[in-house]
Amino acid sequence: MTQPDPFRLPLRHIDDANRVMDAVQALLTHAGIVFRPAPPFPTSCCGRGCNGCVWEGFFSALHYWREQAAGLLVGADDRGRSFGADTYAGEQD
């Protein structure tokens, strides 16, 4: 069974975030790329559904981190093709 492409997985819940962060970090490590860590989980949410909730900021930052990681994988000596990052970056096989 093949693993889903972490660059196409939705980011809606903590479980999604954990799956994406683990998978992307594994791809970066496998490619020998040193990259900054994913954004930390928020610790100050009040749970009231505020406009501009800390979770909105977290998921926005995680999306940006994932985009940057995809760019690194695609740009690393064209090795990104074997890691699935090419589909996220919009390249066609």
Per-residue model confidence as pLDDT tens digits over 32-88: 999 999 999 999 999 998 999 999 999 999 999 999 999 999 877 554 444 444 444
* pLDDT of amino acid 92: 36
* pLDDT of amino acid 87: 43
Is 10 within 8 Å of 91 (Cβ atoms)? no
Q: Does position 16 have pLDDT exceeding 60, yes or no?
A: yes
> How many distinct structural domains can be found in the chain?
1
Q: Using alpha carbons, select from 21, 23, 28, 18 the residue that is nearest to residue 3.
A: 23
The answer to whether residue 80 is domain-embedded is yes
The answer to whether residue 2 is domain-embedded is no
The answer to whether residue 67 is domain-embedded is yes
pTM for the model: 0.77
* pLDDT of amino acid 9: 87
**35 is in which domain, residue-wise?**
14-41+49-88
Place of tokens 């760019």: 71
